[in-house]
Chains A and B, each alone.
Chain A
Amino acid sequence: MSFLEFVQGPMFIFAATVFVLGALWRLVGIIKIGRKKDISPPKASAAAGFIKGNLRHFWPRGIFAKRTMVHIVGGYGFHLGLFALIFFGAYHIDFLNERILGFSWPAMPRWAFLMVSGIAFAGLIILWVRRISDPVMRLISDKDDHIGSWLTFLVMLSGCFALEQAHDILRAIHMLLVNIWLLYFPFSRLMHGFTFFLSRGSSGATYGRKGIDL
């Protein structure tokens, strides 16, 4: 078995399994902690608040964005970009189709892929350079934040390095980093990609049952 076959085959299966089970375990673990039932008479629906909180926080309020506009724009650029790269990049769709899903969907054209990569890279870099150049961020960040940013960056960079598809080793390195990323994900801050709905939802539910129109 070649190195490429190894990282695309057994190692990927392993990493993906850990990713799925780990993330599930962690989500269930958080929910299982449980909370006391709120018995104060509600004014409106907590469940509706849960959903509303989730939706409302997708859109930042302008008044808080003055100093940090660059961060917010960078954040959106990175996240939307990465999402598009993962799920609408031709190579990725092919890979998912062949290895896991067994079905595929239209990919974006190569020029769009490159453009979106640029946006995602720019966004990630902006997010990280703010982390190192703003006293607030320097104070609240920990190792996990930096590792998460860097690991994601390296995954993206190795993917970009492999774009020519001429050398198996470059694709293998990309795949290896993807696997490491998958393995790191459930145990780290990267989990925010899944936990966000719980936290937005919790606040949203509390606000919802008080009848607060967020």
Chain B
Amino acid sequence: MSNITETAVEKFLEHTDSEAASFFEACVKCGQCAEACHFHLATGDPRQTPIYKLRPMERAYKRDKAPFSSLKKMLGLAPKPVTEAELKEWEELVYDSCNMCGRCTLACPMGIDIAGTIRKMREGYSAAGLVPEGLQRSAEFVKKTSSPMGVTIKALKAQIAHQEKATGIKIEVDKKGADYMCTFSSMEIMGYPEVLGAYAKLFKRAGLSWTISSVAYEATNVGVQIGSAPMAKEILERVVDAAEALNVKYVISPECGHAYGAIRWAGPNLMGRQFKFEVVHIIEVIDKLRREGRIPAGKKDDRRMTLHDPCQIIRRGGLLKEPRKLLNESCSDFVEMKYAGLSNFCCGGGGGVSANPRADELKTKAFSLKAEQLNGVEGLEAVVVPCGNCRAVFEDGFDEYELDFEVLGLSELVAGTLAGDDQKQG
């Protein structure tokens, strides 16, 4: 057995806890999960069947860890050992062909969480060094700058200055004792800096005390995407340390899917302890402020809009109703797309796929389903996409499929339709 195989299999086994084991034990190979996966639906390729993507890990478990596995081995009935060639063959399926979106779980009669198990399987792959180049590059950027896109604090400060000028509101960095510390995804900082201005506007109106850390502004966590707990912990530590040093009460996770899961749900488990602050998602914060009457809604945007459900925020994050309430309050013509809500399609770029250029073609194919959903909404003008990563994927996809809808974030929409602005304008 080669070194690669040994490491990978060892990690597979280590990460097959009773939960993953129950999945491998319960799967009846019914193929229903294929009907949910956008990669299978878009390509028709049987290899894109969700459960198939887990096969090497499943085999390792059945051979070496499952109940009766030693008895079966003795009788020569255990499955064959996993080989290096096989691991390499599966590398694409594990990294390119799964957004860890969790849609397949809805279809599975056994409720098997493929997404979460792929996450565990990637532990084996990253430990064995079988990681796609694109993700590896992101990881290197993170080491140097804390951002997978190489966004430095200098760049951030420049964007802050722009937004301060645009909004006329001061954004304080490293303010000790602030209540809230905001984090962002690199994609937002570089691609959609209006988000910073939107936060400033909303928080000023609400009278919130908030800040941005100069060492921990990056919310994304490439460690979670690559599937390396140690790396994920290291990245997370930066944010946790900074927040605790600034003594904030809350850390706000931005409009980014996986960043939320990484810190809110995986975070304490990665660190092995609870945080001294609470993690909240920006959508939760805005919704709460709105319910408290601190950011009343004004004149609504009258464009016909729909909402994309970023998987890690909605299906796997639980924030299903909040964005809808906010949209209804900010927009006079909000329509749901087909499959909206829990069973919405992933954009195709989640789970590290968009950081992995090798997967571009597949990602674009998968986006065809999103394009179909959008085209299915008659007279659609704009789509609200509360995730920076999805947003970038949308824009690529729009080029490919020649679509012409505006894409905007939820904070921007809410900030742009505040009651106060209305009065000022009027």
Contacts and interface: CB of A to CB of B under 8 A. Distances in A.
Interface of A: 22, 25-26, 28-36, 38-41, 43, 53-54, 56-57, 60-61, 63-68, 71-72, 75, 130-131, 134-142, 145, 186-187, 189, 191-192, 195-196, 198-204, 206-207, 210-214
B342 A192 contact: no
Given A61-B343, A136-B46, A203 B268 contact: no
Nearest to B104: A64
Contacts of B111: 53-54, 56-57, 199-204
Interface stretch (B220-228, B315-323, B356-364, B380-388): B315-323
B87 to A, nearest CB: 18
26 contacts: A26-B67, A28-B67, A32-B18, A40-B268, A61-B106, A63-B339, A63-B343, A64-B32, A71-B30, A131-B29, A136-B40, A136-B49, A191-B25, A198-B22, A199-B25, A199-B27, A200-B110, A201-B22, A202-B111, A203-B113, A206-B113, A207-B318, A210-B316, A212-B318, A212-B342, A214-B342
Contacts, number: 171
Contacts of A198: 18, 22, 25-26
B31 A68 contact: yes
B163 to A, nearest CB: 32
B52 A33 contact: no
Contacts of A67: 35
A210 B265 contact: yes
A189 B28 contact: yes
Can you list the 4 inter-chain pairs with the closest CB atoms, starting with the nearest? Answer: A29-B67, A199-B26, A35-B17, A200-B111
Contacts of A36: 17, 269
B68 A187 contact: yes
A201 B23 CA distance: 10
A133 to B, nearest CB: 11
A212 B268 contact: no
A60 B36 CA distance: 12
A135 B26 CA distance: 21
A21 B422 CA distance: 72
Contacts of B267: 40
Given A34-B18, A40-B265, A64-B36, A195 B25 contact: yes
B108 interface: yes
Nearest to B263: A40
Identify the interface centre among A33, A35, A39, A199: most chain B CB within 10 Å of its CB: A199
Contacts of B274: 39, 41
Given A41-B278, A140-B46, A201-B111, 8 more contacts: A29-B68, A33-B16, A38-B269, A43-B318, A64-B106, A67-B35, A130-B31, A139-B52
A192 B35 contact: no
A134 B31 contact: yes
A202 B318 contact: no
Given A30-B21, A40-B266, A198-B22, A140 B29 contact: yes
B72 interface: yes
Contacts of A56: 111
A141 B51 CA distance: 11
Given A32-B18, A33-B17, A210-B265, A140 B51 contact: yes
Interface residues of B, number: 57
Given A57-B108, A57-B109, A189-B28, A213 B22 contact: no
Nearest to B47: A139
Interface in B277-323: 278, 315-318, 320
A157 B236 CA distance: 59
Nearest to B267: A40
A136 B272 CA distance: 40
B133 interface: no
A130 B273 CA distance: 48
Interface in B347-365: none
B31 A192 contact: no
A67 B46 CA distance: 14
A167 to B, nearest CB: 35
Contacts of B21: 30, 33
Interface string B1-43: 0000000000000001111011101111111101110001000
A196 to B, nearest CB: 5
A201 B18 CA distance: 12
Interface in B55-72: 65-68, 72
B105 interface: yes
B107 interface: yes
A40 B47 CA distance: 35
A186 B110 CA distance: 18
Contacts of B315: 212
A136 B112 contact: no
A92 to B, nearest CB: 24
Nearest to A198: B22
B55 to A, nearest CB: 8
A66 B35 contact: yes
B268 A192 contact: no
A187 B28 CA distance: 14
A196 B26 contact: yes
A203 B17 contact: no
Max count, chain A CB within 10 A of own CB: residue among B16, B26, B315: B26
B18 A33 contact: yes
Contacts of A28: 67
Contacts of B52: 139-140
A66 B41 CA distance: 12
Contacts of B109: 57, 60, 75, 196
B134 interface: no
